[in-house]
Amino acid sequence: MITLKDLANTLGVSVSTVSKALKDSPEISQDTIKRVKEIAKELNYRPNTLALSLKNRQTKTLGVIIPDILNPFFANTLYGIEQQANKLGYNIITCISNESFTKENDSINLLSNGSVDGFILSISQETQAKDDLNHLKDLLRQDVPIVMFDRTSQSIECDKVVIDDFMSTFNAVNMFIEEGRKKIILINTLGDLSVAKLRVLGYKTALEKSSNTNQEPIIINVDNAKDVRGYIKNMCEVHPDVDGVLCIDNKSGLVAVSALNRLNYNIPKDVSIVGFSSEEFSYLSDPVLSTVTQHGEEIGAVAVDMLVDRLTGNKKKPVSTTTVDFTIDHRGTTLKKS
Amino acid sequence: MITLKDLANTLGVSVSTVSKALKDSPEISQDTIKRVKEIAKELNYRPNTLALSLKNRQTKTLGVIIPDILNPFFANTLYGIEQQANKLGYNIITCISNESFTKENDSINLLSNGSVDGFILSISQETQAKDDLNHLKDLLRQDVPIVMFDRTSQSIECDKVVIDDFMSTFNAVNMFIEEGRKKIILINTLGDLSVAKLRVLGYKTALEKSSNTNQEPIIINVDNAKDVRGYIKNMCEVHPDVDGVLCIDNKSGLVAVSALNRLNYNIPKDVSIVGFSSEEFSYLSDPVLSTVTQHGEEIGAVAVDMLVDRLTGNKKKPVSTTTVDFTIDHRGTTLKKS
DNA sequence: AGCCAAATCTTTAAGTGTAATCATGATTTA
DNA sequence: TAAATCATGATTACACTTAAAGATTTGGCT
C-alpha cells in the first residue's frame, strides 16, 4: 500500500501538495504536477478507499441480501445488480440469507454501521412467514435507504421493484384459455410467499372471469420442490384430462415437462405447460419450456438505479414502486407461437 | 451514525474513556463502564467499521471474483464462500467477471487498493484463453493474497482449491466400463478451459488403459451449450449404439437425458448418462441424473479457510493446493446404485 | 491531623489516509 | 517598500484505538 505520504517523502514535498497535484489543482505549478503524477504512476499509487469513505461519509458500496443464490431468478438479479452498480461506481457486499430470518437479520445489523450506503434486498421466506420486519424498520429509522425487490412488504415504506405477479398468471391463464384449455392446474412450491399469493390470485381470477370456461381452480401445493414429479404423476391419475399446467417457480416447469412426456402426453398438443424461468434454463427441457419471464437482470439494474438515485439525488422524495414488465415467452410447450 | 464522540459528549467524559469502557478495560471504573454501556445501548452505538479498518489496516472483507453466477457450480461455491466468510467474521465483495478478461481485470484493480484483504477467484474463460495473468501477478507482487479455485493456473504461485478433474472422468469412465459399456461419448461445452482439458484427458486415459474395451475416444465439442440437444441427436444417428454419455459441464447432462428419452433410449438400460452437477439440479430430469458432484459449497469454504489462514497466520508459509474430493453420485441414469 | 506514596481513574496525544480550508513564505511587480 | 501573485505547507476533520501522561482518590504512617 503506497500512500500520499510515501509520495511526498520520495519527492520531498508535503502531503497536501501531492494531494492537490494529483487533482490538478491550480494552486500547484505544472512542473510539480507533472513530477508528482510521474512518480505516482511509477509507484502505482492508488488512493485508499477506506480513508476516502471515512472522509466523505459514503462507502460507494451497496449491501445486497439475497434469499437463495441457487434460484436462477435471484442469480439473475444479482448479476444485474452487480453490473449496474459497477457501472455507477459502486461495489456490492453480498449476503445470502438462505431463507433464514436470523441470517438476514444478522447480515443487516452487521452492515448497517456505515459499511454500506444502502441496501437492496428480497426478504427471506422465514421473514415473510414470521412477518417480523423490525430490522428493516430500524434501518429506515436510521435513514439507511432500502430498495426491496420481488418479495416486498407493504408495511415497509421504501422504494420497490417488482413484477405484476397478479397479471403474470392472469395473462398466462388467459392464454391457456385462448388455446382452448379446459383443465388448467397450478403447481405452487412457494408456500405463502407474497408473490405466490398474488400469482395464485391471478390464476383464480382469470378462471373466474372467463366466459369460455367454468373450471374450478385446482391448486397443488408442494412443500419440497423435489417432490413435484410425484405430485404431477398423482395429479394425472386424478385428472387425466389435464390440458394446462402452470408452474409458478423457477424449476417445476422443467420437471412438469419431463414428467408429462414420460406419461405419454403430447406436449403441447395434449397439454400446455408454462413455468416461471429465464431463458438460460428453459432449454433444458424438450420441448423447450415456455415461460413467464421475470427479467431479473433488469430488475436488479432498476433496483440499483433507484437506490443510487436516492443516495445522490433528492433524499426526501416520496418512495415509489417500479413495475418491471414480465414477458410471456412462447417456446415449445405452448401452442401459440409469437 | 452515532459515534464515540457522541457518547462522550452526552456523558461528559472523553472519547477514549468511552472506547475503553466499551472494551471492559481494567483502567476504567466499573461505575463508568456501566454508565457508558447503558447509554451506548440506548443510542444503539455501533463502532464504525471504516475507521476500524483504517486503523487496523485490515478490512475484514474478501474480494470474490466469479466467472458466471448462473452456473450452479459457481453459485454453490459462492454460497460456501459467503457462509464460511461470515462464520470467520468476514464480509465478501462479489464481482462477476461474466467470463470477460476486461471485467476481471477491472474488478481486481478496483479492489486492490486496500478495499479487501485478499481475493478468492476463478479465472474467466477469456483470461484462460489469452493466458494473460499480469493482473494476478501484480497482486502477488503487492503481497495481496489470492486463493484460486476450479480454474487455476500453474504460472500463479498461490493457494489453490481444486477437484481432481482428471480422476473425475477417469473414474466415471471406468464405472461405465464396469457396467459393460462399449461406446462412451464425451460431450464438451467448456472449450479449452483448464478443467475441460483435464477431464477430457481422464476420459481418454481411462479408455486407453482399460483392457475391457478398445474403444476410440469420441468427443463432441459444442460451442454453445444451447446446441447440445442437436448435437446429441446427430450423434445418435452416427452412433446409434452409444451406451454411455459423459457430460463434463453443469447442464448438458440434463439435456442428454431428455434428448435420449425422446429418441426412445431406455435409460439406464440402453445407455448410462453422467453429468457434472449438484444435487439441486439433478432431479430436474427423469430418471434423476447421476453425476460427478463437485461439492462447490465445500470448495468455497476451504478457499475461505485457506485465505483467512494466510491473512491471520504465517504469511510466508509455502503455497499449497487443496484437492476437495468429488463424489460420483449414482441416481437414476446409471446402472450401479451405491 | 498531616503528608506522601500508591492505586485508581481519566485525559491527552499520536496514528491510520485523504482532502479542503486556511495560512505561510517567497518571489515578482508596481 | 508595499502589494500582489504564486507555490507550498500546516491544520483539521472523518471515527477509532492505545500508550503514556495527568489527575484524583485512597490508604498507611508518623
Give the pLDDT band (50/70/90) at residue B225.
Answer: confident
Inter-chain contacts counted by CB atoms under 8 A, chains A and B: 142
Same domain as B110, residue B35: no
DSSP state of A290: E
Give the pLDDT band (50/70/90) at residue A124.
Answer: very high
Task: Compute how many other C-beta atoms are within 10 angstroms of the C-beta atom of residue B86.
Answer: 18
Pairing of strands B321-323, B118-121: unpaired
Distance A29 CA to C29 C1' (A): 19
Is B278 part of any domain? yes
Read off the pLDDT of each residue in A193-200 and give the average, rounded to a whole number.
95
Q: Are B84 and B305 in contact (CB under 8 A)?
A: yes
Residue count of chain B, please give it.
Answer: 338
Tell me how close the Cα of A64 comes to any Cα of chain B, in angstroms: 10
Q: Taking CA atoms, what residue in A is nearest to B60?
A: A115
For residue B79, list chain A residues with Cβ-Cβ distance below 8 A. 69-70, 96, 98
In CATH, what number is assigned to the domain containing residue B120?
3.40.50.2300
**Element of type H or E holding A104:** helix A101-111
Sheet containing A218-221: give its strands across: A218-221, A184-188, A244-247, A272-276, A290-293, A327-329
d(CA B74, CA B71) in angstroms, rounded, equals 6
Q: At residue B337, does pLDDT exceed 80?
A: no
Please tell me whether the peptide bond between A72 and the residue prior to it is cis, using omega within 30 degrees of 0. Answer: no
Q: At residue B316, does pLDDT exceed 90?
A: no
Read off the pLDDT of each residue in B106-124 and give the average, rounded to a whole number.
95
Q: Residue type at B218?
A: I
Is B320 part of any domain? yes
Tell me how close the Cα of B49 comes to any Cα of chain A, in angstroms: 6
For residue B57, list chain A residues with Cβ-Cβ distance below 8 A. 1
Read off the pLDDT of each residue in B314-333 and give the average, rounded to a whole number.
93
Cα radius of gyration rounded to whole Å, chain B: 26
pLDDT (tens digit per residue) in A232-265: 999 999 999 999 999 999 999 999 999 999 999 9
Same domain as B142, residue B118: yes
For residue A262, list chain B residues with Cβ-Cβ distance below 8 A. 261, 286
Is A283 part of any domain? yes
Nearest nucleotide, CA A55 to C1': D14
First to last CA, chain B: 57
Question: Strand D: which bases are under 7 Å from protein Cβ?
Answer: 6-11, 13-21
C-alpha distances in Å from residue A241, one per residue of A184, A218, A235, A270, B273: 10, 13, 10, 9, 33
For the four alpha carbons of A121, A125, A128 and A132, in that order, the dihedral sign comes to negative
Q: For residue B277, what pLDDT is reported? A: 83
Give the residues across from A247 on adjacent strands: A187
Is A234 part of any domain? yes
One-character DSSP codes across A54-68: HHHT--SEEEEEES-
One-character DSSP codes across A181-198: ---EEEEE-STT-HHHHH
Is B332 part of any domain? no
Q: For residue A25, what pLDDT is reported? A: 87
Is A253 part of any domain? yes
Read off the pLDDT of each residue in B108-121 and give the average, rounded to a whole number.
94
Distance B33 CA to C6 C1' (A): 23
Is B246 part of any domain? yes
Q: Taking CA atoms, what residue in B is nearest to A106?
A: B86
Q: For residue A1, what pLDDT is reported? A: 82
Mean pLDDT rounded to a whole number for chain A: 93
Which of B66, B102, B113 to mutate against chain A (most A CBs within 10 Å)?
B113
Same domain as B88, residue B204: no
Same domain as B127, residue B12: no
d(CA A234, CA A140) in angstroms, rounded, equals 47
Q: For residue B29, what pLDDT is reported? A: 86
User: E-strand spans in B125-203?
Assistant: 146-149, 159-162, 184-188
Q: For residue A315, what pLDDT is reported? A: 78
Give the residues across from A244 on adjacent strands: A184, A272
Burial B254-280 (b: 16+ CB within 10 A, else e): bbbbbbbbeeebebbeebbbbbbbbbb
**CA-based nearest residue to B285, from B275, B270, B271, B297:** B275
Give the pLDDT band (50/70/90) at residue B279.
Answer: confident
Tell me how close the Cα of B146 comes to any Cα of chain A, in angstroms: 16
DSSP state of B326: P
3-state secondary structure B185-204: EEEECCCCCHHHHHHHHHHH
Q: At residue A277, does pLDDT exceed 90?
A: no
Which residues make up the interface with nucleic strand C when CB must lie under 7 A? A 1, 3-5, 15-16, 19-20, 22-23, 27, 45-48, 50-52, 54-55; B 12-17, 20, 26-32, 51, 54-55, 57
Q: For residue A337, what pLDDT is reported? A: 53
> Percent of chain B scored above 90 by pLDDT?
82
**CA-based nearest residue to B169, from B193, B188, B149:** B188
Q: At residue A338, does pLDDT exceed 70?
A: no
pLDDT (tens digit per residue) in A131-172: 999 999 999 998 999 999 999 999 999 999 999 999 999 999
Same domain as B88, residue B12: no
Q: Are B32 and B88 in contact (CB under 8 A)?
A: no
- Residue with grid cell 475441460, as numbered in its chain: B196
Distance A124 CA to C8 C1' (A): 51
Same domain as A204, residue A261: yes
Is B338 part of any domain? no
C-alpha cell at A208: 373466474
Same domain as B301, residue B287: no
Tell me how close the Cα of A186 comes to any Cα of chain B, in angstroms: 18
Same domain as B150, residue B65: yes
Same domain as A317, residue A239: no
Please state whether strand D lies within 7 Å of residue B47 at its CB atom.
Answer: yes
Mean pLDDT rounded to a whole number for chain B: 93
- φ/ψ (deg, to 5) at B160: -140, 150
Residue A2 DSSP SS3:
coil
- Number of domains observed in the structure of chain A: 3
Residue B109: give the domain boundaries: 58-163+296-325
Angle CA B30–B36–B37, to nearest 5: 90
Q: Pick B284's closest partner by Cβ from A51, A251, A283.
A: A251
Angle CA A64–A69–A73, to nearest 5: 90
d(CA A47, CA B113) in angstroms, rounded, equals 7
Please enumerate in sequence order all residues whose Cβ is within 8 A of that of A47, keeping only pairs 6 or more positions apart, or say none.
A4, B113
Same domain as B305, residue B159: yes
Q: Are B282 and B332 in contact (CB under 8 A)?
A: no
Cβ–Cβ below 8 Å for A93 and B61: yes
Rounded to two decimals, what is the model's pTM?
0.94
Same domain as B171, residue B158: no
DSSP state of B149: E
Distance A32 CA to C30 C1' (A): 28
**CA-based nearest residue to A108, from A133, A136, A87:** A136
Q: Pick A50's closest partner by Cβ from B91, B114, B261.
A: B114
Cα radius of gyration rounded to whole Å, chain A: 26
Same domain as B67, residue B12: no
Name the maximum alpha-carbon separation found in chain B.
Answer: 87
Q: At residue A274, does pLDDT exceed 90?
A: yes
Read off the pLDDT of each residue in B212-240 and give the average, rounded to a whole number.
92
